[in-house]
């Protein structure tokens, strides 16, 4: 029953979320509610049990299990496992965050995104597990909703699922991805904190709007969001209303993780609240690109990427990071995509990422600048390329002060869809871009100490 592995997430100083989801064989088992036992121990052989208990696995939630531990010691590693009848799950390792007032010597964070099944094997996850991070930030596109392309000749592997549109489809899609042993090993190696991007629902969707040929888009989005919750180690506070009154028309994905006084991680949600992409026609399958001068809407200050409530929440969080000297050494903005501008030699503007939301980007930059001094680092994904950028106070003025650094990580497996020659031309055209590479798959490792931030791509 534990063929999808185990996971843990959102570590706090006193606890962490434990996750699994049962795979059940026959129809009677599938319709029934089950009770799973769990154990947390100091050792991998479970000789020194710290806590144990029971948790429901309900058919209404895809037989997923979410256990929110409390009462653990801060800054400490634990082992955990689940049992159902005689069956015992794989053993996962997890850890708590340091106590709120502590300034730990080191934190190793891995950040990753975009793991399209057909595009590659998950070798990156094996390497990541060997790197032994304290925390994995997954920044979106955990699944891709597509069917396998008809021409499969150049694909690394295929699957037989149709384009995902129903709850059963999305559940099956997570099960497909989670069947991979390397991904399971990465989940079992440390806690994760996850956010999402578009492919968890539909390519380039924006808030309540998808392609206009999608019947009942909101119902489809609800099914996709439910499957996301079921398959991720999220806290119950991410639900708009507790089960069984849950409605899947909202999911609280933006949130903060505090690593003592060393780092404060603001996880952002750039999908749920954004304005429809500028000058995108409703029947288009993707947002694409526009000529800057040909799309007046692009500059509309009312357009938003995070939504007003999340913008205010983030501004308050950045203010609090800087409120006292040494309150937070590093402020980390963990979000979906490339934040810095990419000015193309051709003059086109891509509209699905922050380049399509210049007013929203300017407001975030003002917020970072207003609550100085601070060490701000942005992490991203989505573009399937490694980008390292200086973040200027005014995104369009390279002579304005540098107020943050950005590391946008490449994909676990998804193809970049471009060539290094083209990427080099973009980098030459954008002096704030210090590194741009499309030819490598993988993830980023950030080694964070009170004095230094080192990213390995
Ligand atoms: Fe992607």
The secondary structure of 70-138 as a DSSP string is -SPPTT-EEEEEEEETTEEPPPEEEEPPPPTT---S-EEEEEE----GGG---HHHHHHHHH--SEEEE
Question: CA nearest 198: which of 333, 336, 389?
Answer: 336
Distance CA 87, CA 26 (A): 16
Domain regions of the chain by residue span: 1-97, 99-456
Phi-psi label, residue 279: left if phi above 0, alpha if psi -120 to 50, beta otherwise: left
* Cβ atoms of residues 247 and 225 within 8 Å: no
Predicted local confidence at residue 162, as pLDDT = 97
CA of residue 384 to ligand 1 center, whole Å: 6
CA of residue 375 to ligand 1 center, whole Å: 28
Distance CA 2, CA 89 (A): 5
Question: CA nearest 200: which of 142, 274, 120?
Answer: 142
CA of residue 114 to ligand 1 center, whole Å: 4
- The helix or strand, by DSSP H or E, that contains position 34, with its residue range, turns out to be strand 34-41
C-alpha dist (Å) from residue 378 to 108, 220, 281, 359, 392? 16, 31, 31, 18, 12
CA of residue 411 to ligand 1 center, whole Å: 7
pLDDT tens by residue, 287-331: 888 987 889 999 999 999 999 999 999 999 999 999 877 789 999
**Which residues are in the CB-under-5-Å shell of ion ligand 1?**
114, 141, 414
CA of residue 285 to ligand 1 center, whole Å: 15
CA of residue 138 to ligand 1 center, whole Å: 12
CA of residue 48 to ligand 1 center, whole Å: 42
CA of residue 453 to ligand 1 center, whole Å: 26
CA of residue 202 to ligand 1 center, whole Å: 11
pLDDT tens by residue, 44-85: 999 999 999 999 999 999 999 999 999 999 999 999 999 999
CA of residue 3 to ligand 1 center, whole Å: 25
Predicted local confidence at residue 444, as pLDDT = 98
CA of residue 358 to ligand 1 center, whole Å: 21
Q: Tokens for 343, please give them.
A: 């000015």
- The helix or strand, by DSSP H or E, that contains position 186, with its residue range, turns out to be helix 181-189
Q: Tokens for 83, please give them.
A: 């049992």
* Cβ atoms of residues 341 and 292 within 8 Å: no
Distance CA 136, CA 134 (A): 7
Predicted local confidence at residue 59, as pLDDT = 97
Q: Tokens for 210, please give them.
A: 């998808």
Low-confidence ranges of the chain (pLDDT < 70): none
CA of residue 382 to ligand 1 center, whole Å: 4
Distance CA 159, CA 149 (A): 10
CATH topology of domain 1-97: Immunoglobulin-like (2.60.40)
Distance CA 439, CA 423 (A): 10
CA of residue 441 to ligand 1 center, whole Å: 12
Predicted local confidence at residue 327, as pLDDT = 85
CA of residue 51 to ligand 1 center, whole Å: 38
The CATH code that applies to domain 99-456 is 3.60.21.70
């Amino acid at each position: 029953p534990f063929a999808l592995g185990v996971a843990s997430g959102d570590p706090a100083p006193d606890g962490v979320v434990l996750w699994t989801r049962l795979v059940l064989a026959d129809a009677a088992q599938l319709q029934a509610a089950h009770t799973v036992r769990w154990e947390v121990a100091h050792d991998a052989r479970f000789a020194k049990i710290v806590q144990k208990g029971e948790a429901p696995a309900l058919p209404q939630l895809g037989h997923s299990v979410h256990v929110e531990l409390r009462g653990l010691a801060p800054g400490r590693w634990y082992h955990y496992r689940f049992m159902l009848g005689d069956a015992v799950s794989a053993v996962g390792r997890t850890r708590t965050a340091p106590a709120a007032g502590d300034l730990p010597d080191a934190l190793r964070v891995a950040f990753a995104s975009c793991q399209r099944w057909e595009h590659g094997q998950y070798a990156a996850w094996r390497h990541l597990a060997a790197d032994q991070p304290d925390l994995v930030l997954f920044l979106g596109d955990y699944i891709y909703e597509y069917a396998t392309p008809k021409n499969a000749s150049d694909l690394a592997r295929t699957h037989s699922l149709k384009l995902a549109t129903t709850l059963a489809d999305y559940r099956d899609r997570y099960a497909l991805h989670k069947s991979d042993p390397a991904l399971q090993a990465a989940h079992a190696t440390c806690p994760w904190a996850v956010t999402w991007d578009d492919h968890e629902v539909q390519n380039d969707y924006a808030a309540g709007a998808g392609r206009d040929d999608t019947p009942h888009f909101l119902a489809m989005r609800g099914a996709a969001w439910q499957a996301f919750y079921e398959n991720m180690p999220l806290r119950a506070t991410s639900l708009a209303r507790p089960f069984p009154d849950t409605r899947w028309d909202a999911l609280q994905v933006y949130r903060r993780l505090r690593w003592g006084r060393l780092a404060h991680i603001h996880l952002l949600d750039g999908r749920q609240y954004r304005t429809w992409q500028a000058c995108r026609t409703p029947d288009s399958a993707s947002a694409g690109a526009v000529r800057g001068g040909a799309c007046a809407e692009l500059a509309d200050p009312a357009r938003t990427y995070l939504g007003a409530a999340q913008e205010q929440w983030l501004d308050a969080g950045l203010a609090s990071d800087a409120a006292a000297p040494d309150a937070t050494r590093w402020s980390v903005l963990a979000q979906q995509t490339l934040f810095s501008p990419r000015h193309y030699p051709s003059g086109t503007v891509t509209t699905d990422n922050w380049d399509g939301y210049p007013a929203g980007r300017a407001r975030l930059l003002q917020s970072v600048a207003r609550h100085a001094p601070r060490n701000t680092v942005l992490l991203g994904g989505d573009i399937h390329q490694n980008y390292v950028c200086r973040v200027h106070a005014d995104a369009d003025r390279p002579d304005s002060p540098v107020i943050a650094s950005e590391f946008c990580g490449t994909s676990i497996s998804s193809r970049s869809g471009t060539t290094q020659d083209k990427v080099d031309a973009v980098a030459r055209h954008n002096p704030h871009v210090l590194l741009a590479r499309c030819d490598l798959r993988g993830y980023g490792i950030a080694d964070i100490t009170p004095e230094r931030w080192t990213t390995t791509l």
